[in-house]
Chains A and B, each alone.
Chain A
Amino acid sequence: MASLALRGVRKEYGKLVALAGLDLEVGDGEFFVLLGPSGAGKTTTLKCVAGLEAPTRGRVEIGGRDVTDAEPNTRHVAMAFENYALYPQQTVYDNIAFPLRSPRYRVAPETAQVRIERVTETLGIGHLLRRMPRELSGGQRQRVALARVLVRPADVLLLDEPLSHLDAKLRAAMRAELKSLGDLQSTTSLYVTHDYQEALALGDRIAVLRAGELVQVGTREEIWHRPADAFVARSFGQPGINMVPGEVVDTPVGRGFRSRDGAIALPLGAVPVPPGTAVEAGLRPRDLVLGERPGMLAVTGRVYVVEPLGRQLEVTIDVGAQRIALVTPRERVEPDSLVTLSVPPARLILFDGTTGVRIPVGGGAPEAVVAADAVTEVAGRV
């Protein structure tokens, strides 16, 4: 086990910049998730750590040792590939035993067998050892690939979208298993995914990547409640966060937010930007409530679409020119009816309208709630 650090790692493929100088530190034993859309540079990062790609610039350090120029087989790194990369001509057993027969990690066949049995037992694939990879289902292959990674000693585990080829339900089940897998949770791991739920469920810390650049690194709470910018906010949540364009306005009780068409007005408290600044207000669908609630700000809108979602409903409401989605317990909501929805002002996340960077909204949430009605009135007059 060891810590892992990337220092200014840049990777270019010809003119294409895959990674634009990445600085990242993963602590000893930390489970670190890299999240981003395809093409963000997640897999390139993993391959630079593994030594399968040489960085154009920058350094990779494992346990404080500079391994930038080291051969992959000397880095003490294990990797699970997105496509599993099982050897098709070998049995499951031989696949898992493969690292234990290598010059570097060779152990006595008996020792290997004990270890393989332990790992496959944990992963529930003990009965598949004599099969060939082509005879396995997707979920089983995924487990075999994982077993091959866990069976050998490694300082750092690299996991490249290990669940992406599984169907939604199997993915959820495997996620819980990964979460409780002791070996995985105690070893320094770098986990790549484009699925925000995987990131939230598994990561001790999460790094959000966009176009080869690090947008934010933080715990799941930081990322969720204080996203660095609108891109990070949009990357998390289903249905996605509502973004309301508008501007900062002055009110008798402090600064406020007013949507472009004036239909939505919210108190902000102290904000470090002058009135008139173009901003976007982010409201998560599960923070909004249908009907009036004390201490929240009520706005009226017309129901656009109602979608049953099992126990809940997803309701999309036109508030002025803005289409707002919210999730609510199942009840009777008619399309085209006029409804009231309540916004908890403290849950509002404010972003700069041009750069998308988050603007911290001044503390005092309770006062903001009290001030809510005043703002509405003011906004109405503006």
Chain B
Amino acid sequence: MAVQQESQPIAAERTSTPGIAVRPEAAVAAERSGSRWGEMALNGLTILYFLFALFPLVWMLLLSLKPQEQLFTTYFRFSPTLAAYREVLGTGGGGSDFLRFFLNSLIVAVGAVLISLLVGVPAAYAFARWKFLGGESLLFTLLSFRFAPELMVIIPLLVIYRRIGLFDTHLGLIWVYQLITLPLIVWILRSYFQDLTPELEQSALLDGYNRVQAFVKVAVPLIRPGLAAAGLLAFIFAWNSFVFPFALTGSNAQTVTVGSLSFLGGATPRYNLTAAAALIALVPPLLLALSIQRFLVRGLTFGAVKG
């Protein structure tokens, strides 16, 4: 008697019986029996999507391993070489600016994120906990920085930067990167702070801590996953920024994004070098993401829902 019932409740789905209004669950029960095929189909689709999504990356990898002469003549069959990497990194003896660009990127992105965190964490806390005059508009203004195309502000910025001597400096880039990193951090972290029950800090206040101590000792440690997620996202955006460094730097503070493209500027475009440079530039965000993955999975979805 037990066996035959597996798929019986299906019929319940389409009827409308007011006494029995929990029909969706009956449907779920029915789906469970056919879930093996569904699962396989889902896995298949996922694999297809990954192939599609990863293809450019694979193509770049192949490109970076090709010797210059086979660049335009082959697809998958070639004699792989690390020559492009050697040339980009300047280890072949030819010398290269790439490492300097790489270091610039690192300084500028890390600097921008740190300053954004320093300003953004308390700001996010204030936005989450207190209603103050103009608070909402301020928050929206902050977000609107992300709406405006960077190209719109780039010409006046260029003029101003040249005037006040920030052109082609690390500090100049760090400053302008706040437009990218600060809204991101404030918006993500605000939703984290909102999810914390205020009683935790209130309890600390009554336990003999002042408001700053309650913030530092109780609230901040509890949003660590958010801190990791927001910090990483900000770093990636800063690292990948192209328009600002393209316009606001010369040779001194140039970043990898701009630097990698210089390989295309010669008489013959060196696609293999660009590919190698881009792949190397991929390493820091990737390493960072892997190292804080523990926080990230929870953090990104957490922030995503409410942010």
Q: How far apart sit A352 and B81, CA to CA, in the bound complex (Å)?
A: 99
Q: Is the CB of A50 within 8 A of B208?
A: no
Q: Is the CB of B208 within 8 A of A81?
A: no
Q: Is the CB of A152 within 8 A of B207?
A: yes
**Residues on A with beta carbons closer than 8 Å to the beta carbon of B207:** 73, 78, 98-99, 102, 105, 148, 152
Q: Is the CB of B204 within 8 A of A98?
A: yes
- Distance (whole angstroms) from the CB of A150 to the closest CB of chain B: 12
Interface string of A93-108 (1 = CB under 8 A from B): 0000011001111100
Q: Which residue of A lies closest to B197 (CB)?
A: A83
**Given A87-B218, A89-B222, A98-B204, A103 and B199 contact (CB-CB distance below 8 Å):** no
Interface size on B, residues (CB 8 A): 17
Q: Is the CB of A72 within 8 A of B205?
A: yes
**Residues on A with beta carbons closer than 8 Å to the beta carbon of B211:** 71
**Given A99-B207, A102-B207, A105-B207, A72 and B202 contact (CB-CB distance below 8 Å):** yes
Q: Is the interface of B mostly helix, strand, loop or mixed?
A: helix
Q: Would you call B91 an interface residue if the criterion is a C-beta within 8 Å of the partner chain's C-beta atoms?
A: no
Q: Would you call B103 an interface residue if the criterion is a C-beta within 8 Å of the partner chain's C-beta atoms?
A: no
- Distance (whole angstroms) from the CB of A115 to the closest CB of chain B: 14
Number of residue pairs spanning A and B whose beta carbons lie under 8 angstroms apart = 63
Q: Is the CB of B202 within 8 A of A52?
A: yes
Q: Which residue of B lies closest to A82 (CB)?
A: B199
- Distance (whole angstroms) from the CB of B23 to the closest CB of chain A: 32
**Residues on B with beta carbons closer than 8 Å to the beta carbon of A78:** 206-207
- Distance (whole angstroms) from the CB of A116 to the closest CB of chain B: 14
Contact of A102 among B197, B200, B208, B222 (CB under 8 A): B208
Q: Would you call B252 an interface residue if the criterion is a C-beta within 8 Å of the partner chain's C-beta atoms?
A: no
Q: Is the CB of B206 within 8 A of A79?
A: yes
Q: Would you call B210 an interface residue if the criterion is a C-beta within 8 Å of the partner chain's C-beta atoms?
A: yes
- Distance (whole angstroms) from the CB of B210 to the closest CB of chain A: 6
Q: Would you call B221 an interface residue if the criterion is a C-beta within 8 Å of the partner chain's C-beta atoms?
A: yes
Interface size on A, residues (CB 8 A): 25
Q: Is the interface of A mostly helix, strand, loop or mixed?
A: loop
**Given A85-B197, A88-B222, A89-B221, A73 and B203 contact (CB-CB distance below 8 Å):** no
Interface string of B182-221 (1 = CB under 8 A from A): 0000000000000001011011111111110100001001
Interface string of A48-83 (1 = CB under 8 A from B): 001110000000000000000001110101110101
**Residues on A with beta carbons closer than 8 Å to the beta carbon of B199:** 81, 83, 85
**Given A73-B205, A104-B208, A152-B207, A85 and B200 contact (CB-CB distance below 8 Å):** yes
- Distance (whole angstroms) from the CB of A333 to the closest CB of chain B: 34
Q: Is the CB of B202 within 8 A of A102?
A: no
Q: How far apart sit A51 and B200, CA to CA, in the bound complex (Å)?
A: 15
User: 4 closest Cβ contacts across the A-B interface?
Assistant: A104-B208, A102-B208, A99-B207, A85-B199
**A residues adjacent to B (C-beta < 8 A):** 50-52, 71-73, 75, 77-79, 81, 83, 85, 87-89, 98-99, 102-106, 148, 152
28 contacts between A and B (CB under 8 A): A50-B206, A52-B202, A52-B205, A71-B205, A71-B210, A71-B211, A72-B202, A73-B205, A73-B209, A73-B210, A78-B206, A79-B203, A81-B199, A83-B199, A85-B197, A85-B200, A85-B202, A85-B203, A87-B222, A89-B221, A102-B207, A102-B209, A103-B208, A103-B209, A103-B210, A103-B213, A104-B209, A148-B207
